[in-house]
Structure 1
Amino acid sequence: MPDMDVALKDAMQIEGAIGVALVDYTSGMALGTAGGSRDFDLTVAAAGNTEVFLANMRAIEMLGLNDSIEDILVTLTGQYHVIRPLTGRSGRGLFLYLALHKTRANLALARHQLRRIEANLEV
């Protein structure tokens, strides 16, 4: 089972990756990051996307849906942002956040690769 650093490096190999973070959604803090830039602060993105994730969780609860989030996609004009909660016991309360260049990424393949990384991650 890959550890967090290996998983983050694997996620950065996804075509079009800008940055990736493993985020604790109870605090909004990034436990680990890879990629990003001076103009794209992954710790700020982690905190902001925690709000997106929690809002979706509240909506599911308010609607009384007996379902869970597989992933959340935010599509910007130039980027895709994918939020994928960890489902393993060791990953409860965490999600993977991946930012992609829209013109360079294959979204279906990126989601598939992120699903594989999430399934194998041990935290």
Structure 2
Amino acid sequence: MAEEAPAAAPAKVPAKAPKKKAVRSKTDGPSLPELIVAAVAESKERKGISLAAIKKVLAAKKVDVAKSNKRINTTVTKMVTKGVLTQTKGTGASGSFKLAKTEPKKCCTLKTFN
């Protein structure tokens, strides 16, 4: 019988150093929800402002609407679920929106006695 040479062990590959993530600097100025609230607040429409009109106002305030379209839509829907905005027409991110009226907090409760 012919003896076979033992198989050579695979060469160890040095572990790669993890890639460093690019550090994004915070942009100066108000955040997207603050800009949306300001756009809705300055609207004079009685029935609310549409999403397209909100995007026009944001574009006038130097926000890249084409790049951040998805973020604008999700921010508006989150603001509706949190109660910051109310949706007067439509569903989801489409429709008209206006600022929610805050209910006055009750300072004391009336108790009735039998």
With normalisation by structure 1, the TM-score equals 0.23
Write 1 or 2 for the structure with the bigger share of strand.
Answer: 1
Higher relative contact order (CA 8 A, sep 6+): 1
Write 1 or 2 for the structure with the bigger share of helix.
Answer: 1
